[in-house]
Structure 1
Amino acid sequence: MKKEDQSYIFLIMLHFLLGALIFAFPFASKIYTLAIFVVGVYYIVKTENKNNEVLIASAYVVGVEVLLRMTDGMILNEFGKYSILFFMFLGMIYSRFSTNGLLYGIFLLLLVPGIILSTTSLNLDTDIKKAIVFNISGPVCLGISSIYCYQRKISFDRLKQLITAFSMPLISTLTYLYFYTPSIKNVINGTQSNFETSGGFGPNQVSTLLGLGIFVFFVQLLLNSKSRLLQVINAGFVLTCAFRSIVTFSRGGVITAVVMILLFLIVLFFQANNNARPKITFIIIFSFLTGLGVWGYSSLETKGLINKRYANEDALGRKKKSQLGGREVLMETEWKMFLDNPILGVGVGKNKELRKQQTGIDLASHNEITRMLAEHGLFGIIDLLILFFTPLLLFFNNRRNIFALSFLTFWLLTINHAAMRLAAPAFVYALALLSVQVKNPEIAEKSVE
């Protein structure tokens, strides 16, 4: 067995043990949180960020965030975003950043009017600091991460190592979920999102991270599995992430993963030469058939209820009125707030208060796009245009970041159903801005050999 394979298997076993340890001794989660931050800072400082160690540390934080949340390991509620911000500032001190990335400085400046407005518009009994931080920490994390990543040169091998950093803590999450709910059949009794299969935590967020896990292990399978043993191991993780994501009964993460993989394979196909394209075509067909197999198994384990969930039916087969689990009402109220306040918006955090006054619904936004419109008005529109078109233009000018469209898609689809509760969409978005350096331009051909 090669040394690389031994190291990879060692990391897998280590993270399996971490997941089991946290399940057995929940307090270990807080120790794990502290260790991640301390080791991350040490790693960056020791290396002086010479090989973008900031990105590796941040990817690990993204991969572990849901596990820390579901086990109450977060020392700070926004530990994931704050850690990434701290890592990014350290990285900028050691490695600077592209002045062209200050486009995202403009993005951040356009958030300021909404913040200022909220200080005067929020109700007196509202915790203003908490309301602002809850809504603005995600965009700020995205903006700072984007400034760091904008056209930053990174080797293709380093990018693959970053994918590995995402994947390792997800193994701990899968382990914890298995111990928490070893039998799926015993806890499924309806078509609503299921907390029992999600480790007792929000199914939407668990599904989001497991969906990302489907993608990263799929990439591991294609690009980082040089031996038959690693191919079997990574294929197993793809299937496990897919199954556990499906049985959360939260659809967003699963759909996002499918679109990400599809775009990744399309990019590979069009960048490949004629010799590699038949292999990619085979991978597409095999992936589709395997996906059907996972779905069939999930259907058996959920007694067919997962089919009704995706058909938007209840357990009795009756069509549900809401297509998006009630999110339409939230989006409609935010759209109306934008129409009533098209220039400055209503202010950061104010949309929740107004919605409660107008409809009695006391829920925060689940859609970052309509939240940006409602709370930031015209400035929100400009920010969204910057976010959407910048990575697209960079990709079409230099297509060597073969993950760029998948990363952008993860951000776009995730913020439409889970807003920016997690650090994942902010950081993954920024990775679409990287300038990947490839020694051999025939990426796709080399990747699928």
Structure 2
Amino acid sequence: MKTNITYISLIALHILLGMLVFFNETLSKFYFFLAFGFFIYRIILSPSSRKTIEILNACAYFVGAEVFFRMTKGAFSYEAVKYIVILFSIVGMFYKGLSGNSYPYFIYLLLLIPSIFVASTTLSFDVNFRTNIAFVLSGPICLGTAVLFCYDKRVTMKQVNSLLLYMALPIVSHTVYIFLYNPSVKEVLSNTGSNRASSGGWGANQVATILGIGMFVFAARLFAKSPSIGLKILNIIIFCAMSFRAIVTFSRGGVITAIMCILAFLVIYYSIVSRRQKNNIVMLFLIFCSTMAVTWVISSSETGGFIDLRYANKDHTGRQKQDVSTGRGDLFEKEIQGFIDNPFFGIGSSRAKDQRIEEEGQGVTSHNEVSRVLAEHGMLGVIVLIILIFKPLDFRSRNKGNYYFYAFLCFWFATINHSSMRIAAPAFIYALALLNVTNEKHPIHRKQLKQ
């Protein structure tokens, strides 16, 4: 009962935070530094047995808050959260060490270095070398350091659910902020393109990705962490609110990724629970699908049917679009061509964007991390991708306690293919897949024999 009250209180607190930041955006900076100080305090004062989970909670919270801090200018820099995850991961390695079996990720980090030297000879003279390299490599380095810390660290499933809640709480604040920023979707729509106004005044792709994480976490809590009807109703309401705002961003990637992750989670979770729990999951799944259908109908009504056209790949007049990827397919092809032309060491970090500035006058950032890695790192990029894809599967063959494993890996792979590594979420969530999740040990109470 106490746990439920704490949960509801945390949700209420973050609803209030979202409202306060909306009415006074300067509070976002105070929120950022207060959260940073709070987690530093928790990490330093926690006993050794709690260090790992406290650091994971800290990283998770900032990952969930990243886009919210960006759009409200709360963080000290655009890439602040990636640097915070890197910092906390290094602190974690200092306190708790790292696994010797994580050496492939050392190799992964080393393989990123040659592209910097290549870039020093290929980037344009008027390009800010340090800024461009840092922007492109901050995501991959964030992934590498997070994995080195997380790899084979022992945590319980209860702790995993706790850190996922830490990740989702600031997304509650973010959702409230977006509702207040844009209470009427109809007023800001003119076509079926991604909509900045309905996304809270920020990039729809990033907002939809973060809201997709919230959708996944609250859907998972609905099935695995909602013992009472009241909590089930609360989690469904939050899920529907986030789903609605994610859908009406008109950015499809985050929504589709969330659905894929939920299904990946449900398949594994369903396979490990008891028969009685299976029956409950089936009933909940029917209710869940019904609420999703209702949410879609409301979204369709609020957008005047534009959202139906968007997902059918049609423009606002109902005409079929030729390119389902909205131009991303062309970027993918050009980057693959860059790999073909420079197969050994690639074209260098950030050169893909730099080339587009030279050829087209605008530097559209790559949406696909796979093609970017191949283009900018060449054959070293092939090795990078092999490590990133196959090492987790090897880890899974020996550690099967994490029923979120495939959902985490699915989120990483789907996100880097529609949003690259613009935010820290795919890097950190990939690292979570490599935690060694154990079952909670319940204490055994033995009756004392009378003398």
Q: Same fold (TM over 0.5)?
A: yes
**How far has the Cα of 1:119 moved from its partner?**
1.9
**How far has the Cα of 1:395 moved from its partner?**
2.1
Q: Is the 8 A contact 2:29 2:74 kept in 1?
A: yes
In structure 2, runs of 5+ residues without a counterpart are: 443-451
Separation in 2 of the partners of 1:257 and 1:324? 18
Q: 1:35-184, aligned counterparts within 5 Å?
A: 35-48=34-47, 50-51=49-50, 52=52, 53-184=54-185
Pair 1:6-2:10 in alignment: no
Separation in 2 of the partners of 1:26 and 1:274? 50
Q: Is the 8 A contact 1:392 1:405 kept in 2?
A: no
1:25-61 CA-partner distances (Å, limit 9, x unpaired): 1111111121222222111111155322110000000
**How far has the Cα of 1:396 moved from its partner?**
3.2
Specify whether residues 189 and 359 from structure 1 end up closer, same or farther in structure 2 by C-alpha distance, changes over 3 A only.
Answer: closer
Amino acid at match of 2:49: K
What secondary structure does 1:130 align onto? helix
Amino acid at match of 2:289: F
Amino acid at match of 2:250: F
Q: 1:273-288, aligned counterparts within 5 Å?
A: 273-288=274-289
What secondary structure does 1:321 align onto? coil
Report the counterpart of residue 324 of structure 2 in structure 1.
323
Q: 1:28-427, aligned counterparts within 5 Å?
A: 28-48=27-47, 50-51=49-50, 52=52, 53-427=54-428
Amino acid at match of 1:181: N
Kindly tell me the number of residue pairs found equivalent between the two proteins: 440
Report the counterpart of residue 17 of structure 1 in structure 2.
16
Q: Is the 8 A contact 2:219 2:239 kept in 1?
A: yes
**How far has the Cα of 1:131 moved from its partner?**
0.6
**How far has the Cα of 1:361 moved from its partner?**
4.3
Give the stretch that moved more between structures: 219-228 or 423-432: 219-228
1:249-307 CA-partner distances (Å, limit 9, x unpaired): 00001000100010111111222344433333333333223222211111111111100
**How far has the Cα of 1:198 moved from its partner?**
0.6
Specify whether residues 439 and 28 from structure 1 end up closer, same or farther in structure 2 by C-alpha distance, changes over 3 A only.
Answer: closer
Amino acid at match of 1:233: L
Q: Is the 8 A contact 1:163 1:220 kept in 2?
A: no
Report the counterpart of residue 445 of structure 1 in structure 2.
none
Report the counterpart of residue 449 of structure 2 in structure 1.
none
Report sequence identity in percent: 42
Give the stretch that moved more between structures: 273-282 or 404-413: 273-282
Give the stretch that moved more between structures: 316-325 or 365-374: 316-325
**How far has the Cα of 1:375 moved from its partner?**
0.3
Q: Is the 8 A contact 2:223 2:284 kept in 1?
A: no
**How far has the Cα of 1:328 moved from its partner?**
1.2
What secondary structure does 2:155 align onto? strand
Report the counterpart of residue 437 of structure 1 in structure 2.
438
Q: Is the 8 A contact 2:300 2:306 kept in 1?
A: yes
Q: Is the 8 A contact 2:158 2:440 kept in 1?
A: no
What secondary structure does 2:166 align onto? helix
Q: Is the 8 A contact 2:401 2:437 kept in 1?
A: yes
Separation in 2 of the partners of 1:81 and 1:361? 26
What secondary structure does 1:417 align onto? coil
Separation in 2 of the partners of 1:94 and 1:257? 34
1:331-370 CA-partner distances (Å, limit 9, x unpaired): 1110110000011000001111223334444212111000
What secondary structure does 2:83 align onto? helix
Separation in 1 of the partners of 2:278 and 2:174? 35
Separation in 2 of the partners of 1:226 and 1:287? 16
What secondary structure does 1:436 align onto? strand
Q: Is the 8 A contact 1:44 1:90 kept in 2?
A: no
**How far has the Cα of 1:102 moved from its partner?**
2.1
Separation in 1 of the partners of 2:277 and 2:224? 14
**How far has the Cα of 1:402 moved from its partner?**
0.3
Specify whether residues 6 and 305 from structure 1 end up closer, same or farther in structure 2 by C-alpha distance, changes over 3 A only.
Answer: same
**TM-score if structure 1 supplies the norm length?**
0.95
Q: Is the 8 A contact 1:44 1:91 kept in 2?
A: no
**TM-score if structure 2 supplies the norm length?**
0.95
Amino acid at match of 1:370: S
Separation in 2 of the partners of 1:261 and 1:223? 12
What secondary structure does 1:74 align onto? coil
Give the stretch that moved more between structures: 200-209 or 190-199: 190-199
Specify whether residues 392 and 415 from structure 1 end up closer, same or farther in structure 2 by C-alpha distance, changes over 3 A only.
Answer: same
Specify whether residues 9 and 269 from structure 1 end up closer, same or farther in structure 2 by C-alpha distance, changes over 3 A only.
Answer: closer
RMSD of equivalent CA atoms: 1.5
Amino acid at match of 2:3: E
Separation in 2 of the partners of 1:215 and 1:99? 32
In structure 1, runs of 5+ residues without a counterpart are: 442-449
Amino acid at match of 1:350: R
Report the counterpart of residue 447 of structure 1 in structure 2.
none
